A and B are shown apart, each in its own frame.
Chain A
């Protein structure tokens, strides 16, 4: 597995400037700015339909914005080919979504091993690595169950393990606790943030729940397609 190593690793890990993206007549993003450093956990908040998820998708290179740029370690994402962006998702990025990201046909352990195998690790190695992560996220008892057979909390923890297994630099989490009750949700958040800090992974955390956002270091509010860094705004006042 190769990372997109470059000399610019001193700058911010991921920056977005003046992002613009419209769906039909509505503008999901209209000049949004965003930046995140290595190991930082940033919450992206905002009312539903404000463009939080669109921002995350743009940052991860899943969708291409109509205007503005996204730089990851000095490379512009929209200038990359689909294959390059796929490679980035394979090695440098991890994803945790509200639900539906697990492959229902595979067991939990196989799901976690999947990104490693996509990146070319052999099956045995990938699965033993998956088991380590399952132990860390306290779901090693469901290793041979399929996603349909485990509880929502376990499923999300499997998803977190999968996002972390390839040791990504950035984890994109879109409402990772959205489908969970608060107790399970907080456990998932605790495990996610602890593991992210241990591996020095940055986390872009999209959520509409303040208590989930409270696990972050910093908060960005998306409103009317624009992203505002609330934390630094306060710093300015103080």
Chain B
């Protein structure tokens, strides 16, 4: 996720102070990983340099966090371009799990146990997310669902692999 594009997008609804930007970002998108102030300022200075934002005003009391930023027309165009560009779907072709399973088979370890352990771990996380979702607002729900669907996809892969372990063992053993 691009922090600069996100912060720029947040500014489009109106000028904000740096600390204000950080708080809004954390509320909406931060969840697990809140932004550092440093990240905010370095991003802002880069955006200033590129002419995508401008300093709208400075509050008395000094300090870099007192600057108020506003988006420029070029910035608005940039946000629009970013939103319109589809994200590249992840191909997920380099899977650690697959590697682990093949290695387990090659070394004569129990791949099914590995898969079950992974499955339990996935489900544990899913339970946690489900709990959070149940207690959270719509934003929480959407974010958790995103994660849940991905985890579910992994889980399906785990199930499918577990069902085809014998065949895989045969092919690996050749």
Contact = CB atoms under 8 A, between A and B. Distances in A.
| Chain A directly contacts chain B within the complex, with at least one CB pair under 8 Å | yes
Interface stretch (B39-47, B49-57, B125-133): B125-133
B101 interface: no
B130 A214 contact: yes
Of B122, B130, B148, B159, most A-chain CB atoms within 10 Å: B130
B127 A214 contact: yes
A230 B130 contact: no
A32 to B, nearest CB: 16
A45 to B, nearest CB: 8
Interface residues of B, number: 23
Nearest to A231: B120
Contact of B120 (A194, A215, A234): A234
B6 to A, nearest CB: 27
A211 B127 contact: no
B155 interface: yes
A223 B164 CA distance: 13
A57 B130 CA distance: 28
A219 B120 CA distance: 8
Nearest to A217: B127
A210 interface: yes
Of A190, A211, A214, most B-chain CB atoms within 10 Å: A214
B27 interface: no
A216 interface: yes
B120 A233 contact: yes
Contacts of B73: none
B100 to A, nearest CB: 14
B155 A230 contact: no
B117 A234 contact: yes
A211 B148 contact: yes
A237 interface: yes
A213 B151 CA distance: 12
Interface of B: 113, 116-117, 119-124, 126-127, 129-130, 134, 148-149, 151-152, 155-156, 159, 162-163
Interface of A: 47, 190, 194, 209-211, 213-217, 219, 221, 223, 228, 230-231, 233-234, 237
12 contacts: A47-B159, A47-B163, A194-B134, A210-B123, A210-B155, A211-B149, A213-B123, A215-B127, A215-B130, A216-B127, A230-B116, A233-B117
